[in-house]
Structure formats: C-alpha cells, structure tokens
Chain A
C-alpha cells in the first residue's frame, strides 16, 4: 500500500468519525430542539429540568429508552421485526457520507507511524467522507431504501395499524420520489454534473440555485418533507387514525432507531437543500475560494448555519400546518408536483438553450441572472395558479360537488 493511499485512508477514517459523531449527537440534540421549538411556538417553555436549560434531556431520553423493556408482539415475524429499525436507520446515516460540509482543506503531511509505515497526503482534502462522482444520484438511491425499513416494520408487526402505516409510507415515498427526482433534473441541466462538489463550484461561479431554479427548490422541499414522513405529510404515523403507524408495536431502543432515522433523514434533506440550492458551504463573495484552514472553518460554519436554518424551517412547518388528507396528499404528489416538475424541466431546458445560443450568454453569473428572470415569470404564474385553490380542494368545495350531484339526481 502506498503512503498516499494510507494517508487517504487515515483522513477518511478521521472524517468518518467526525461526521458520525456530529450526526449522532446532532440528531439527539435535534429531538430537544424540536421540543423546544414546538414549546416556544405554543407559548410554553419546553424541557428545562435535565441539565442546563434541558440540554441533557436527550441523554435522559436515551438512557430511558435503553433501559426500557423490549416487547415483541406474539405473532410478529421476529427476524424482520428486529431487522426493520436497522434497515431504516442505516440508509439514513449512510447519506451523511456524501454531503460536502466545508471548503476543501489543504493538507500536506508525510510521516512515519511505527510499524504502520509511512503516511502521506498532499493537496486539498475535500471535506466530505466520500466524494462520490454520482453525487445526488447516490442520495436518491439510498434514501429510497429507507422505505424498506418502514414497510417491513409495518408488515412484520402483524398489526393492522402498523400495516396500514407501512402501506401508506411506501405509497407516499414512492409517489414523492418521482417528483423529487424530476425536480433535480434542472439542477443537473444547470451544473452539467451530478457531483455535489461540481454543483457547489457552479453555484460559486454563478448564483445560488435557489434564484435561477426556484421552482425546483420548491418542489424538492415539499417532496423532501414527504420523504421524511413529517407533518404535514406524516400519514404513515397519523396518531389520530393509526395510533403510531408503522412503529405502533415498537418499544424501547427499537422505537428510538426509527426516531433517529427520521431526524437523520431531516438532516439529510436539509443538507441537500443547502448544498443544491443554497450554495452548500459557499459564502457570497470571492473570499472563501482562496483555500486554507480559516476558510475551511468559516465555510463549515456557514454550512452549519444554513443547515440549522432549514432544520428550523422543517420544524416550523411541522408545528404550523395540519396533516393532509390522504387523497390530497396523492393529488399533490401526482397531479401538481410531478406535472409541474416535468413542465419546469421543459421551461428550463428551453431557457438554457435560448440563453446560451440565441442570447449568447455563457458567463455563469449572466446565465443565472437571465434564468432568474425566467423564474420570476414562471413563479408568478405557478403560485397564482396554486393560490387559486383549484388543485387541492378544501372541504367546502367537496360540499359544493356533493350538492351539485344531489341536485343533478333530483332534477334528472
């Protein structure tokens, strides 16, 4: 093994440890943040008994969940019942490996470590555990694997509520994956590459994609909510109808695994939104591109701030909006978001072709600004249409149709 290879492995292991620790601790703290945010939004205080301002509450919850009794339903399928939490937990954690979280760090070392031999690394180190060339395709592929865990949990519990929850989860996640995948095609058209590093580089050169690809961002965000199974799309859990949905029969740490998976998915979706549409670790201006330790730290902080904002946004939405009805959920996914994403791909294709070939703008910034102009027009049209309330019908509209139907039967 060459010293360079060993140096690469050493750095990768360090990055893995860093990311894994941050994600696990972060997920634990997110449960506290969720409770605090929900409390503040309801004029309450939230947990404040354990630790300083409730900071140790996640640790207390963890200890409690580990010490609790593990129950196994009598007629559950024992292997799958145990396997399911792991199957939803692992893909959720796996995703954090491919998100770049700071500017590349210039590393230069060459040392010998006893019997292990020589370690060497020269040049910039990408601040991502695995800089995979397939980029967000990897995320789409692995995130869809999460549904296996949920569907299996629902099925193996041998409980009607859990089964319904699992069915709903698979239907919902499959439906919204379509819109999610399609909403990322404009990103691909803009950057010409699926790798996260390339996408961030293109956003540094031009504008953050949220401006030139606003609708993509909008569709991605909504599908992201649906993918994480959180309110307003938490039909797989739906306390009022299904008790707790797919994890009805789970207790103790196995239940916690579903929770960790949910929050890890939230982190991933927020990291995706940050990286794909908000420039990743980019700070506006030229300063962060010169490289160096300081730049890596500051861009890391910038990424973290953006990530925290989106996580807060997810919680904000959760504690604001009520749950969708099931037909509304399906209508939104298939009748609104998917056609919208398809139409948007056509618009962006045409616009990019037009800007590059007819208007002759090849500079990334000019191109992004021109696309932003296109987006303002498209955005006004789309939101005007959405705002008219013709796609997702409220209960009063349903009454209208039933009245019209009864009138038709009376007269007919």
Chain B
C-alpha cells in the first residue's frame, strides 16, 4: 500500500445510518467555519505554505553575456536532443570564426518542457524557466524568437541533480 493511504476498516456489525448521518452533518457544518484553503490566484501567486518550485520547467530563457549577446554558440545540441522537435536553429559564423545563431526559435506549443535543452547546453545559454503564464491571442505568438527568449526576465529553473536528489 502506498504511503499515506488510510485504510478504513469495514464495520463488522450493523451500521447505524441515523447516527452516521448526524455525525456527517456535524462534520460538514464544522467545516463551514474553518479557514479557507483557496489561493486567490491572479492576485496571489504564493502563500506561506505554497510557492512554485524552483525546479519548475516553464517558458524558456536565453541567457546573454556582458555585451548583451546571446551565449548560444549554435552547436546544435539542443535541436538534436529535443524530443518534441520544437527548436529551430540556423547557425551563422562571423569574421573571427565565432559561431552564433542566425535564427533561434522555440515553439512553446510543441515543447514538452522536459528541460533536455538546458541539460545538454555546453554554454549554459538556453534554460527552461520558473514561469507558466504565457497566454497569447494567436498561435503564431507562441513561437518565441531569439530576441524574445533573451528578453525574458523570470528565474531559470534548477535542474535535478543526481548527487542531490532532494534539492537541498
């Protein structure tokens, strides 16, 4: 039996429905005056006993270096590993031989938010983020281009570390 499952013993004798009904009604009435557990979501996004996990894998973010250029070197590992095939990368190269992405697009609709792109990235450029409110009016707006990925400001997620499984 899974942890935390409470097993109720069936009564061996006859069951009293009158008393059981009264007991149940007392219980529901008592609950009317107990503190409410509802979190008023759009106004209130975390409470003292609940906040979004730092390991949440949501909307992507592309990190930038000091000059404001993306850290991406267009190595092609993330489109390679992406199981949903949602990353479009066209590499380019400048005169010094530095590779950079000409086009870098992520289709957030196709993405399954596995976080492999962040895991595989050698430059720690692409990240999944602790963010989930990405509603749009058109489907086209869900394809995030490089500029939009760079301008995201939310926290990046902390990926699962096998040496520290509980994230302590």
Contacts and interface: CB of A to CB of B under 8 A. Distances in A.
B12 A389 contact: no
Nearest to B21: A321
Nearest to A396: B10
B54 to A, nearest CB: 28
Nearest to A41: B28
Contacts of A394: 11, 14-15
B24 A320 contact: yes
Interface string A374-394: 000000000100111110101
Contact of B31 (A41, A389, A390, A392): A41
Given A320-B24, A321-B24, A388 B14 contact: yes
A44 B36 contact: yes
Contacts of A390: 14
Contact of B37 (A37, A44, A395): A44
B53 interface: no
A90 to B, nearest CB: 34
Contacts of A40: 31-32, 36
A394 B29 CA distance: 25
Nearest to B24: A320
State which size class the interface on A falls in: 20 to 34
Contact of A388 (B10, B16, B21, B40): B16
Given A396-B10, A396-B12, A386 B35 contact: no
A45 interface: yes
Contacts of B11: 394, 396
A316 B12 contact: no
Interface in A304-329: 316-317, 319-321
B37 to A, nearest CB: 5
A397 B11 CA distance: 10
A397 B14 contact: yes
B34 interface: yes
A395 B8 CA distance: 14
Nearest to A399: B10
A102 B27 CA distance: 35
Given A43-B37, A44-B36, A45-B38, A389 B14 contact: yes
B19 interface: yes
A41 B25 CA distance: 10
A41 B17 contact: no
B25 A389 contact: no
A42 interface: yes
21 contacts: A40-B31, A41-B29, A41-B31, A42-B31, A43-B36, A43-B37, A44-B36, A44-B38, A316-B25, A316-B28, A316-B29, A317-B25, A320-B21, A320-B24, A320-B25, A320-B27, A388-B16, A394-B11, A394-B14, A394-B15, A397-B15
Interface of A: 37, 40-45, 316-317, 319-321, 383, 386-390, 392, 394-397
Closest 10 CB pairs of A and B: A389-B14, A40-B32, A45-B38, A394-B15, A387-B18, A320-B28, A41-B28, A320-B24, A387-B16, A389-B15
